[in-house]
Structure 1
Amino acid sequence: MNRRNFLSLTSTLTGGVLLLPDFLHAFGNQKQLITGEECLVFIQLNGGNDGLNTFIPYDNPLYYEMRPKIALSKDIVIGKNRGMGFHPALKDFAQMQQNGDLSIIQNVGYPEPVRSHFRSQEIWQTATDSNKYLNEGWLGRFLDQQYHDHHPTAAINIDSIDNLALKGMEPNSITVKDPNRFKIKKNKEEEVTLSDNPQLDFVRKIANSVVEGSDEIQKALGNSTTEMTYPKTGLAKNMEWIARLIKGNLNSKVYYTTLGGFDTHDNQLGIHERKLGELNDALYSFYTDIKSAGLLQNVTVVVFSEFGRRVKDNGNGTDHGTAAPMFIIGGNTGGKIIGTNPNLADLNQGDLKHQIDFRSVYATLLKEKMHFDYSKIGINNQPLAGLF
């Protein structure tokens, strides 16, 4: 069994109690992060979110000409600025932007775009070219560089499956669906020394990560409470957990979660409105919670999707496209709009041409928020100016 498969089996726990056998009681002490250190929170919108109906070029007649069935009337677009505005379901996105706490990066993508959900997600998660493949994610590689030994709670993935972005050579992340039920027990308090079997030692290291991670998560939950009411949706619950862990000083560098349902080939208007509403309400609750705790300057939220949709509608929805906006909330971002408005008159086979490579955004996050040399993990794109 290779380490990737074992990591998936061992560190992905969706709830309940796991009893570890005595021989897996592991060794070593985890390195503690500094209280108040900055962290990144990622919300991945799976399915290919329609960027043109999210942050809308309402002042461009080509938008209405090419989307006769699904274009949103300029009368209902909100937060208008420079010919662009938000979908009405994103009323709190508009408010955060007005507060100076949300920046929009327009036309984000990558060269030679791929329209397969799985492959494009993999490209975003590994930060590679579209014709290259890696087994480790960009955040996993970053975390490998940060620690001499494994750190089980360096990254927390609130989900039922692992995320490739967080996979590295060391077990520096834990995937858990319900942190409150992530309680791991071991039989005895006896130390087990390293053996001459590297595979067995890695098994022990994984087991130690799970136990230590459980202890640290429960400690953070015990140090925090929820002072407000979150919506009763899956994403909102995930964001509430992340807020609790941040406020409880877990001090993970990365938190990650996903929201699916954005593959709107049909019935787009209704489906997209509901999904954007779920995103808006969950994220604004998190934003309010973290800001009330005085932590927003230390928390940077990144919202992205693997690709946007085609410019022209298909009659009742949209098909897979390329470039789309990214949203950055908190972390002392300036509430800016970065990049030019989508050029609907200059398309590539019916799709938007990307203006900003997503790896430039990653480089900016690593440099400005993690104080890390992004080139060490193979990112060669230059950071964006003025995001923070």
Structure 2
Amino acid sequence: MRRREFLSRAILAGLGGAGLYSARGNLRMLESATRAYGPNAFSDYKALVCVFLFGGNDGLNMVIPRSNLHYQRYAAARATLAVPQARLLALTPQAGGGASDGADYGLQVSTGGDDSIGMSGLQGLFNTGKAAILGNVGTLIRPVTKAQYQSGGAEVPPQLFSHNDQQSYWQVSRANDGSGLGWGGRIADLLHDANPGAFIPMNVALNFESILHRGQSGSQYVIGSDGPRRFSYFEWDGDTREAMLALMQQGTQTHVFERSYADAVRRARENAEAVSTALETSAPLTTAFPDNDLGRQLKMVARLIKVRGVLGLKRQVYFVSMGGFDHHDRLLDEQPALLSGLSQAMTAFHQSTVELGVANNVTAFTASDFGRTLSSNGDGSDHGWGSHHFAVGGAVRGGRFVGTMPTLQNDGPDDAGWGQIIPTTSVDQYAATLARWFGVGETELDLIFPNLRNFPTRDLGFMA
């Protein structure tokens, strides 16, 4: 084997099991705040599960008005993209939980072919008070009106409508942050000592590292949908394997980079062994998960939650994802299957938390690059801004619409131009409400979400 190939495999092995991200920036205030969150800070267990919909989900065709007047306005604005009124599953809010515009809403049925389930799972969770709908959420620095935006004087996040930039901003939620630390990573920095003796980091990502989890002092643990990733050098020939093991021996490295890499690989090996042993000795879940990528990811999250005690964890933030939502065309043909997969996976996951007795301790929530344009381009919708999202769990004050629903009218009061709907709820408010439930104190929320002070409502009230 050539030296370059050997080194490439070695680096990939290390990256596959441990986060090596090294953040920069001055976080002294946050570091000092960690002293309040020691080993005895929490007696309970809580987990947040971010379900990221890559590509920019068209939330306007996921949560749709059913009331005749509001539906007619929706259909006129969406034109060729309008979902037939007869294909909407009725949402029945709890008392006082109706939408801000007074309309009745429904979810797109999203069934077809051999799929008879569609969005009925999330419909059932909403109607039984286990899911809330967050209306018109998006990236903001401070509230923005149409007049302010169109005059060019509004302070808005950088590179609106760009996939990469808005995916990053949703997960970082700070403008001009050169360090790129995610808000989940900042929470883990704050609460690090609340998981004493943990075998793996607080933050766990499925299949690849997430921006959400990047922190100053802590790494994130990356695991595959089928379990920890094994180190491929154990499968290499004997000479190569012995060379790799020798390279990893503690105290044999002379250069600081060699020592750092060896330490990372050792930690990753230890993590993989601890997690594998815990998973292999745990009884299988009885909850049936759908056989799709998101279902497999969330099943692994449920399995990890089941062995939380063995792994020494009181607080965890998970990141799972699904892609394919960038529907510049074929929106009506392709989005239903994606929404059905989302609904089935999130419903099964909630059922698994009920099985495990932790439904009140685990909250799953959706996120996405951005919404889509209200206007049609003929066969799809283009990059938008605000969109609707779900929060699911036993601690969610479900059966409620949270925030202000937009006016679905092209060139209406919420249309920034080209059908791009201006958000009325910020990512900061959404995430801070989740973080407060998770155990972050009011003062520390301003350190993690510095733009939160720009909004009149700090707590959206959808968490019990």
Give the equivalent residue in structure 2 for 1:52.
60
1:230 to 283, 289, 292: 289
Contact 1:152 1:209 (C-alpha < 8 Å) held by counterparts: no
Distance 2:422 2:352 in 1: 37
Higher strand proportion: 1
1:381 correspondence with 2:452: yes
Give the secondary-structure state (helix, strand or coil) at the position aligned to 2:212: helix
1:202 correspondence with 2:267: no
Say which is worse superposed, 61-70 or 221-230, in terms of deviation.
Answer: 221-230
1:337 correspondence with 2:401: yes
Contact 2:81 2:332 (C-alpha < 8 Å) held by counterparts: yes
Distance 1:181 1:317 in 2: 39
Q: Which runs of 5+ in 1 are unaligned?
A: 1-5, 15-30
With over 3 angstroms needed to count, the CA separation of the structure-2 counterparts of 1:120 and 1:282, relative to structure 1, is: same
Contact 1:128 1:134 (C-alpha < 8 Å) held by counterparts: no
Contact 2:65 2:106 (C-alpha < 8 Å) held by counterparts: yes
Contact 1:151 1:209 (C-alpha < 8 Å) held by counterparts: no
Contact 1:219 1:248 (C-alpha < 8 Å) held by counterparts: no
Say which is worse superposed, 235-244 or 288-297, in terms of deviation.
Answer: 288-297
Give the equivalent residue in structure 1 for 2:90.
79
Contact 2:132 2:397 (C-alpha < 8 Å) held by counterparts: yes
Give the secondary-structure state (helix, strand or coil) at the position aligned to 1:290: helix
Give the equivalent residue in structure 1 for 2:136.
107
Which amino acid in 1 is paired with 2:203?
A
Give the equivalent residue in structure 2 for 1:299.
362
Say which is worse superposed, 263-272 or 141-150, in terms of deviation.
Answer: 141-150
Give the equivalent residue in structure 2 for 1:135.
180
- 1:207-226 to 2 correspondences below 5 Å: 207-221=265-279, 222-226=281-285
Contact 2:187 2:440 (C-alpha < 8 Å) held by counterparts: no
1:244 to 303, 306, 310: 303
Question: C-alpha displacement at 1:86, in angstroms?
Answer: 1.1
Give the equivalent residue in structure 2 for 1:3.
none
Aligned length: 364
Which amino acid in 2 is paired with 1:308?
G
1:348 correspondence with 2:416: yes
Which amino acid in 2 is paired with 1:371?
V
Contact 2:17 2:268 (C-alpha < 8 Å) held by counterparts: no
1:324 correspondence with 2:387: yes
Contact 1:304 1:325 (C-alpha < 8 Å) held by counterparts: no
Q: Considering only CA atoms, is the larger Rg found in Structure 1 or Structure 2?
A: 2
Contact 1:179 1:217 (C-alpha < 8 Å) held by counterparts: no
1:269 to 325, 332, 352: 332
Give the equivalent residue in structure 1 for 2:34.
none
TM-score of the superposition, structure 1-length normalised? 0.85
With over 3 angstroms needed to count, the CA separation of the structure-2 counterparts of 1:83 and 1:95, relative to structure 1, is: same
Give the equivalent residue in structure 1 for 2:341.
278
Contact 2:199 2:274 (C-alpha < 8 Å) held by counterparts: no
C-alpha deviations, 1:14-48, integer Å up to 9, x for none? 9xxxxxxxxxxxxxxxx999785101111100000
Which amino acid in 2 is paired with 1:207?
V
Say which is worse superposed, 281-290 or 320-329, in terms of deviation.
Answer: 281-290
- What's the % identity of the aligned pairs? 24
Contact 2:133 2:390 (C-alpha < 8 Å) held by counterparts: yes
Question: C-alpha displacement at 1:205, in angstroms?
Answer: 3.7
With over 3 angstroms needed to count, the CA separation of the structure-2 counterparts of 1:166 and 1:105, relative to structure 1, is: same
Contact 2:47 2:363 (C-alpha < 8 Å) held by counterparts: yes
- 1:2-41 to 2 correspondences below 5 Å: 10-13=14-17, 37-41=45-49
Which amino acid in 1 is paired with 2:200?
P
List, as ranges, runs of 4+ consecutive aligned residues in structure 1 with deviation greater than 4 Å: 6-9, 31-36, 148-151, 183-188, 193-198
Contact 1:69 1:316 (C-alpha < 8 Å) held by counterparts: yes
Question: C-alpha displacement at 1:201, in angstroms?
Answer: 4.4
C-alpha deviations, 1:143-168, integer Å up to 9, x for none? 12222699733111112x32111112
Question: C-alpha displacement at 1:200, in angstroms?
Answer: 4.2
C-alpha deviations, 1:303-355, integer Å up to 9, x for none? 11110000111111111100001211015111121112222231111221111
Give the secondary-structure state (helix, strand or coil) at the position aligned to 1:258: strand
Contact 2:109 2:120 (C-alpha < 8 Å) held by counterparts: yes
Give the equivalent residue in structure 2 for 1:164.
211
Which amino acid in 2 is paired with 1:92?
G
Higher helix proportion: 2
With over 3 angstroms needed to count, the CA separation of the structure-2 counterparts of 1:220 and 1:36, relative to structure 1, is: farther
Which amino acid in 1 is paired with 2:164?
F
Question: C-alpha displacement at 1:210, in angstroms?
Answer: 0.8
Give the secondary-structure state (helix, strand or coil) at the position aligned to 1:147: helix
With over 3 angstroms needed to count, the CA separation of the structure-2 counterparts of 1:181 and 1:333, relative to structure 1, is: closer
With over 3 angstroms needed to count, the CA separation of the structure-2 counterparts of 1:12 and 1:175, relative to structure 1, is: same
Question: C-alpha displacement at 1:193, in angstroms?
Answer: 5.8
Give the secondary-structure state (helix, strand or coil) at the position aligned to 2:180: coil
Distance 1:127 1:80 in 2: 31
Which amino acid in 2 is paired with 1:342?
P
Contact 2:429 2:460 (C-alpha < 8 Å) held by counterparts: no
Distance 2:377 2:229 in 1: 45
Contact 1:126 1:136 (C-alpha < 8 Å) held by counterparts: yes
Give the secondary-structure state (helix, strand or coil) at the position aligned to 2:132: strand
